Amino acid sequence: MRYIITSSQLHMLIYKYLDSIFSKKDFRIEPNPYVKDSRRIDMFDDNGNERMSYFWFGPGTDDDDNPHNGIGSLHINPTILDSLRTMFSIRESKIKDIIADWVSERFNTDVDEIDIHPSRNKTPNY
């Protein structure tokens, strides 16, 4: 059976799903020792598996002289995306955007880039 839900209901459901996977105890927040004014947030599930990582690089250059303009980068484990894709019939890019919104609200920060990490071994079959 299929149900039609609004965009705000979809956001709410995905936010609740993410809240159920992660709690405050599941976060490790630390400064990045290689880039001034930068930080890293690792998010773990109940089994201690890292499921998402957020990196914020402050303006300036890193230890390899690569420039950064205040960029927030989110790495999402494909298991989260695949779980949500099986629950909801929506594009993966839409799920990534909603997860980025959740991270932005949860940590009061900006997500500028989103990628899947680690890479999938094969294309998912939904």
Q: Tell me: the pLDDT tens digits for 111-123? A: 999 999 988 777 6
Higher pLDDT residue, 123 or 56?
56
pLDDT the model gives residue 3: 77
**Neighbouring-strand partners of residue 44:** 50
Residue 121 lies in a domain: no
Entry pTM: 0.84
Mean pLDDT of 64-81: 87
What percentage of the chain has pLDDT greater than the value 90? Answer: 40
CB-CB contact of 57 with 70 (8 Å) = yes
Residue 126 lies in a domain: no
Residue 40 lies in a domain: yes
Q: Is the pLDDT of residue 58 over 70?
A: yes
Residue 26 lies in a domain: yes
Residue 81 lies in a domain: yes
Confidence of residue 66 (pLDDT cuts 50, 70, 90): confident
pLDDT the model gives residue 24: 62
Query: Which backbone phi and psi does 59 adopt, to 5 degrees?
Result: -60, 140
Residue 12 lies in a domain: yes
Residue 107 lies in a domain: yes
How many domains is the chain built from?
Answer: 1
pLDDT the model gives residue 126: 60
pLDDT the model gives residue 120: 79
Question: What is the 3-state secondary structure of the chain?
Answer: CCCCCCHHHHHHHHHHHHHHHCCHHHEEEEECCCCCCCEEEEEECCCCCEEEEEEEECCEECCCCCEECCEEEEEECHHHHHHHHHHCCCCHHHHHHHHHHHHHHHHCCCCCEEEECCCCCCCCCC
pLDDT the model gives residue 38: 84
Confidence of residue 25 (pLDDT cuts 50, 70, 90): low
For residue 24, give its domain range: 7-116
**Amino acid type, 10:** L
